Amino acid sequence: MENIIQTKLAHLTFKSPVFTASGTYGYADEYDDFLDVSEIGAIVTKAISLKPREGNKHTRIIETQAGMINSIGLENLGIEGFLEKKLPVLRAKNIDFIMNIAGSSMEEYALLGEICSQNNIKAIELNVSCPNVKSGCLEFGVSADSLYNLVSKVRENYDGFLIVKLTPNVTSIEELALACKRAGADCISAINTLKGLEVKFELVNGKFRKTKVQGGYSGVGIQPVALSMVNRIRQAVDLPIIGMGGIYTLEDMLKFFAVGADAIQIGTANFTYPDIAKKLQDELREYIIKNNFKDLDDLKNKIRTCFNEQ
């Protein structure tokens, strides 16, 4: 039977445009009790670094009125651990996945790219919101020049599908998207979390106590920012875009298609609704059939045309 939600991003084909976002889906095995993960478009792994990382010791997650703040500190089992323990499971279960990678220097990213190539990892997503330790902790993803150098270096070493995940914490997202294209990226994903802070106080015997988390803001509250960023990237470059930020419903997903996303990722919503990716994927298919669109591309073209009309 024809798959009407099949999604092509440049030369790579996915069974649907619904992916799960890095850091909110582990390495997929955590979700086995809720759904057959191999049925969703793709999962993006938690960021993987060269060496294992323990992550932050302090409070890592706090809810806000419209989303959450996390400060996980990139806890992960390192590339060797991933190759040994997680990759065989993903492959045995036939799960389509994208590996999210994070380094603290250009050399680390380049080496991770090389290892991914050697292990036939089909697609990687560069998390460029990591501090460049060698350049005084400035994030790689905030300067077009350093992003260009980083992506070029990874491109030299990695021959699979190269996605660069952009941070919204910048002045000109267009310049960064253009730098990615010039450096040979195949696809852009956006957005990573916004910088945020939440603090909650309680009075205990007349004295204040606080719980404070400063880190990445995600969830419903960031959706308008994400839509605006995806739209700006769409106008700047002709690369495929994977959009994300506060997606909880079919309507949210359609908005991302309208502003120029070719696929989407679901992040924070997974914590409340662990089967949401499969649910939204099914709803999308039903919506296309019920409303007599030819397929997903037809739907995307029509909603985009409507969005772009004066």
User: What is the Cα–Cα distance from 140 to 251, expressed in whole angstroms?
Assistant: 33
Collect all residues with Cβ–Cβ distance below 8 Å to 147 and sequence separation of at least 6: 128, 140, 141, 164, 176, 179, 180, 183
By beta-carbon proximity to ligand FMN, the closer residue of 23 and 205 is: 23
Closest distance between ligand FMN and the C-beta of residue 58, in Å?
14
Q: Does 46 bind ligand FMN (CB under 6 A)?
A: yes
Closest distance between ligand FMN and the C-beta of residue 226, in Å?
7
The letter for the amino acid at 25 is: Y
User: What is the Cα–Cα distance from 204 to 91, expressed in whole angstroms?
Assistant: 52
Q: What six digits make up the tokens of 14?
A: 């996915």
User: What is the Cα–Cα distance from 84 to 72, expressed in whole angstroms?
Assistant: 23
* Contact call for residues 267 and 21 (beta carbons, < 8 A): yes
Among residue numbers 138 through 157, which ones bind ligand FMN (CB under 6 A)? none
User: What is the Cα–Cα distance from 271 to 277, expressed in whole angstroms?
Assistant: 11
Q: How many CB atoms lie within 10 A of CB 249?
A: 13
Closest distance between ligand FMN and the C-beta of residue 48, in Å?
9
Closest distance between ligand FMN and the C-beta of residue 194, in Å?
9
What is the DSSP track for 246-262? Answer: S--SHHHHHHHHHHT-S
By beta-carbon proximity to ligand FMN, the closer residue of 4 and 225 is: 225
Q: Which stretch binds ligand FMN (CB under 6 A): 88-96, 155-163, 232-240, 244-252?
A: 244-252
User: By rule CB under 6 A, what string of x and - marks binding of each residue 76-115 to ligand FMN?
Assistant: ------------------------x---------------
How many residues line the site for ligand FMN (CB under 6 A)?
A: 25
User: By rule CB under 6 A, what string of x and - marks binding of each residue 198-237 to ligand FMN?
Assistant: ------------------x-xx--x---------------
Closest distance between ligand FMN and the C-beta of residue 292, in Å?
30
Q: Does 267 bind ligand FMN (CB under 6 A)?
A: yes
Closest distance between ligand FMN and the C-beta of residue 279, in Å?
15
Q: Measured over all CA atoms, what is the biggest interatomic distance in the chain, rounded to whole angstroms? A: 67
| Three-state SS at 264 | strand
Q: Which of 205, 157, 202 is nearest to 183 (CA)?
A: 157
Q: Which of 158, 149, 142 is nearest to 192 (CA)?
A: 142
The residues assigned a catalytic role are: 130
The letter for the amino acid at 51 is: K
By beta-carbon proximity to ligand FMN, the closer residue of 19 and 148 is: 19
User: What is the Cα–Cα distance from 303 to 260, expressed in whole angstroms?
Assistant: 10
Out of 7, 104, 127, 132, which residue is the one contacting ligand FMN (CB under 6 A)? 127
Q: What six digits make up the tokens of 306?
A: 């409507």
Q: Does 277 bind ligand FMN (CB under 6 A)?
A: no
Closest distance between ligand FMN and the C-beta of residue 196, in Å?
11
Out of 16, 22, 143, 231, which residue is the one contacting ligand FMN (CB under 6 A)? 22
Out of 53, 165, 181, 300, which residue is the one contacting ligand FMN (CB under 6 A)? 165
Among residue numbers 279 through 298, which ones bind ligand FMN (CB under 6 A)? none
User: What is the Cα–Cα distance from 46 to 299, expressed in whole angstroms?
Assistant: 31
Residues that bind ligand FMN (CB under 6 A): 21-24, 46-47, 70, 72, 74, 100, 127, 165, 192-193, 216, 218-219, 222, 244-247, 266-268
